Structure 1
């Protein structure tokens, strides 16, 4: 019964958290429209993504304590490079996916996907290319197929660095993202004063790290005594303690040695992970804390907006651009010229197949209009070209055969006074005549060979005619749509430009979304945070009310400035020119009869 109540509580916490996240998503969409709060908006997106994903566990500690080997042992494979001479150079998220790959998330937000074989290059390799790439990487995500990763995301972190006040340093931004922290020590190597101070500092952030003592197989003394000594030093700053041998665990899984696996104690670590990540209430509380901290950051950003660029410059420049009609006229003339060019191209594409009535004309068109190409068309073009080449070769050979045959006829008639007929009696043959007949048979053999190629290529060309024809019509239509989209884009730009005369006015309108966000925080987010369903203290509720009140007190409506704008709407470019109504695509409509080339009949072999 107790377990059922616990499960119901877990489901209730999960539902409450999900409701909060669903309300945060529209807020992220609203703020995404403003580049000034880009970094703050990105942090909100990360809170939303992390809250909606499985719990995140961070393994941290000094270099060469075995963090990477630990993760490999949990996964039962040497996924990450654990070379002692090459420590991990980048924080690495290991996530679940049936399709294995690596994604590098760069500092500017760009994401690049690599094959799993490139993992070593991104994490530990010291060659020049790897170093250049890593200089710009924020973190990487490794996607692999493993059941443990269905419930949890693991992070293999860079080693702790020396920090101020005799305290080790680690990225606070990353610490805020994780649900659980495992601090890793090498068995027999006690935590330094810097590390103990770091554990104390984690407590001030509300983080109680769990301790992993790794490498128990290499400890000469008593493992339990070492663990007890460490526990006595900083017990109140840590949670659970597990002593393991990651190296033996990995070897045991490799050799299927069940006793070695038990002795490695890795299963205890796996069980602890599963217990910790099952605590939905703790995850909900963690997300709430992150969002409260994020609200404070948003408050600082919004309070500074009216005092800084580009908001101030918008006021100063709108009046200047209002009077700059010459620039507006120049832009309009430019846009009219662009539309004329688009119209000319649209008309050309719509009639691209109008004069195409034979296979030869089609091949000429494909050679000149590169947008009519893809792998299917190029294959057809290649075979059709071979078909026509062999037809030409056949005709040329046939002319050669006819000329040689005419010479033989003249020679025979001159010699016998009779018309040529076969077989020729032996007594009527001359050496030259025999050579000519042999030459004719040689040409006939070449013609027969060409016939075989022509038949093979002709079969392919006819069989795929309508497939390729439909594809070409699709490609032409796609090109027309692309041109139409270009005009649409131009028209959209014109609409945006005439709404606010110049870039400063456009920048000012970006802050409209901040006004919308203020209302959304007040009307949708605050009630959700204060309705007693989330694990929030009364003191935190007062802080939330005050923070949102301060955010909403910042006046960014600038309505008086809007009233001073005098912008006349101009006709849309698209209403002046409807390409689709004016130019209909003339589709390609060849038949087999248009494709097949007529060739002279193959001569018979002359019996010598």
Structure 2
């Protein structure tokens, strides 16, 4: 068996190291997926894993109308992507290998939709209203086609460079971080602008050396070699390979099977360069490792602020308060017991509110003391009943006054005549004092008569409206009992809601346990592998990795024991406990007309003189 060369062995080692790193990142992603707080960071880790686990990604970058789309079409040997000079590509398009041709649209919110390949125009260059609406929510699209080149590499047809701040062309930094190689496409005869050169300088700070592709070498009368020399002088060691091609001639040659034209187009050299770059496994390993180091720094920043931000603060405070204060739950139980006793006493009082009411006077006393027994109907009846009883009292007082005055008349008459008082009285037996007393008696009799008229009027009202008001009072008492039941239900609901909130706090706190698990996994599985493995990273980067993971692990989120001790018991159902309805039946008011009528002395007779 032939032994592998040193270069082959190095490549195999790089593949092994990269695969081992990916195998460790996958369970880390699963662990972190349990926490929504680091959702975006977890999604970024998933993207690193997916990109590392697939073939290399090569990005074609450049300003408008330099031929990026045509160049990719020429590599694929078909006009798959629409090349429209008036409508450039509007969405970053990933071209991947697939046995069945289709499009996957990845939206900004993470949703993925699959389309037929015929919809490619709609998603990339169409300027219709519906296409614009779709693209507003798109992150990127993936086009799957069956082509041998795509078995080895994923190509990205990118949107055009935009003019950014400080005279520097702008392109999505997050997308550039994902790719393994960048092909910077320029148009022959149209040198890179100052904005583009500034972006090239910026890419150098990210350790990215794009390869310069000079497209349209057939379209300019200028010397291609001279153009290359001029561009190389501008970029120096900031760029990688330099290659001139004619994408249009390459497409034309494939249509006409013109071999010489295909060779002259130099497209085969670009294909060879792509395959050669794909074979550089160490670079891919280096790239993935760099991405993970940057990701670790992002994770560190997020984890370090967890203990100082919501929802962690509220979750921890509420769980610790419930768990640490042994008197807290007891005091709540005592409070609930007092409230419950109060409700039961009130329910019992209301259910027996009419138990001892047997007269109108007793009813009026209840109405004066229990405000829940009042409404407009009851208050009108109460007003008339009070007037009725007042007039009865006045009549009785007048009647007593009349009796006393009559008694004095009898005594005086007997003293004067020696005979008992009888009527009629002879004129010769009457003195002025007796006449005066008779006038006084008649005056009182007249007042009694007037009062009696009032009494009869009010008595009619009180009697006729008794049963209507009585039914209403029973309704008001029943409503009050329902209100008390509602208040107990509200207390019941509040107690349950408090448990629900507490349980949600406990669940939220438990959600951070996966962060604790991730800390241990980083410390025990990831860090030794990066520090002791044959990864293409410097000693300074190893120190940075170790320091970052130690900072991540230094954040104390270990509250699992606290959560395990937490016993959130469901409160007893107060309504079931009390059974108000069965214990206390409402004793309704049941007066009759005779109960509300007062006993009234007979009207005195008028004394004729």
Same fold (TM over 0.5): yes
Using the TM superposition, give the Cα deviation of residue 502 of structure 1 relative to its aligned residue in structure 2, in angstroms. Answer: 3.1
In structure 1, the residue matched to 2:98 is: 97
- CA offsets 1:116-155 (integer angstroms, 9 cap, x no match): 0001100110101110010111110000000000000000
Matches within 5 A, 1:397-412: none
| Residues in 1 aligned to 2:180 and 2:94: alpha-carbon distance in whole angstroms | 13
Q: Which consecutive residues of structure 2, in runs of 5 or more, have no partner in the other structure?
A: 334-497, 572-609
Q: CA distance change for structure 1 residues 277 and 563 in 2, over 3 Å: closer, same or farther? A: closer
Q: CA distance change for structure 1 residues 501 and 280 in 2, over 3 Å: closer, same or farther? A: same
| Residues in 1 aligned to 2:528 and 2:560: alpha-carbon distance in whole angstroms | 28
Q: Does 1:167 align with 2:171?
A: no
| Residues in 2 aligned to 1:2 and 1:236: alpha-carbon distance in whole angstroms | 36
Q: CA distance change for structure 1 residues 523 and 3 in 2, over 3 Å: closer, same or farther? A: closer
- CA offsets 1:16-60 (integer angstroms, 9 cap, x no match): 110111011110000000010011101111111111100100000
| Residues in 2 aligned to 1:107 and 1:90: alpha-carbon distance in whole angstroms | 12
| Residues in 1 aligned to 2:318 and 2:130: alpha-carbon distance in whole angstroms | 46
Q: How much is the aligned-residue C-alpha RMSD, in angstroms?
A: 2.2
In structure 2, the residue matched to 1:254 is: 255
Q: Does 1:275 align with 2:276?
A: yes
Task: Answer whether contact 2:253 2:259 (CA < 8 A) is retained.
Answer: yes
In structure 2, the residue matched to 1:558 is: 559
In structure 1, the residue matched to 2:432 is: none
Using the TM superposition, give the Cα deviation of residue 567 of structure 1 relative to its aligned residue in structure 2, in angstroms. Answer: 2.5
Q: Taking structure 1 as the reference length, what is the TM-score of the superposition?
A: 0.63
| Residues in 1 aligned to 2:209 and 2:40: alpha-carbon distance in whole angstroms | 28
Using the TM superposition, give the Cα deviation of residue 559 of structure 1 relative to its aligned residue in structure 2, in angstroms. Answer: 4.9
| Residues in 1 aligned to 2:279 and 2:24: alpha-carbon distance in whole angstroms | 24
In structure 2, the residue matched to 1:143 is: 144
In structure 1, the residue matched to 2:26 is: 25
Task: Answer whether contact 2:73 2:80 (CA < 8 A) is retained.
Answer: yes
In structure 2, the residue matched to 1:35 is: 36
Q: CA distance change for structure 1 residues 235 and 2 in 2, over 3 Å: closer, same or farther? A: farther
| Residues in 1 aligned to 2:234 and 2:198: alpha-carbon distance in whole angstroms | 11
| Residues in 1 aligned to 2:243 and 2:500: alpha-carbon distance in whole angstroms | 64
**Secondary structure of residue in 1 paired with 2:142:** strand
Using the TM superposition, give the Cα deviation of residue 499 of structure 1 relative to its aligned residue in structure 2, in angstroms. Answer: 10
| Residues in 2 aligned to 1:25 and 1:137: alpha-carbon distance in whole angstroms | 26
Task: Answer whether contact 1:200 1:237 (CA < 8 A) is retained.
Answer: yes
Q: CA distance change for structure 1 residues 220 and 12 in 2, over 3 Å: closer, same or farther? A: same
In structure 1, the residue matched to 2:80 is: 79
| Residues in 2 aligned to 1:301 and 1:115: alpha-carbon distance in whole angstroms | 40
In structure 1, the residue matched to 2:300 is: 299
In structure 2, the residue matched to 1:122 is: 123
Matches within 5 A, 1:42-441: 42-318=43-319
Matches within 5 A, 1:543-582: 543-559=544-560, 561-562=562-563, 565-568=566-569
| Residues in 2 aligned to 1:157 and 1:42: alpha-carbon distance in whole angstroms | 22
| Residues in 2 aligned to 1:185 and 1:159: alpha-carbon distance in whole angstroms | 12
Corresponding pairs, count: 399
| Residues in 1 aligned to 2:501 and 2:552: alpha-carbon distance in whole angstroms | 26
**Secondary structure of residue in 1 paired with 2:5:** helix
| Residues in 2 aligned to 1:31 and 1:93: alpha-carbon distance in whole angstroms | 27
- CA offsets 1:242-288 (integer angstroms, 9 cap, x no match): 10000110111011111111111100100001101110011101111
Q: CA distance change for structure 1 residues 515 and 230 in 2, over 3 Å: closer, same or farther? A: same
**Secondary structure of residue in 1 paired with 2:183:** strand
**Secondary structure of residue in 2 paired with 1:239:** coil
- CA offsets 1:331-385 (integer angstroms, 9 cap, x no match): xxxxxxxxxxxxxxxxxxxxxxxxxxxxxxxxxxxxxxxxxxxxxxxxxxxxxxx
Task: Answer whether contact 2:318 2:502 (CA < 8 A) is retained.
Answer: no
**Secondary structure of residue in 1 paired with 2:64:** coil
Q: Does 1:524 align with 2:525?
A: yes
The structure with the larger Rg is: 2
Q: Does 1:514 align with 2:512?
A: no
- CA offsets 1:576-597 (integer angstroms, 9 cap, x no match): xxxxxxxxxxxxxxxxxxxxxx
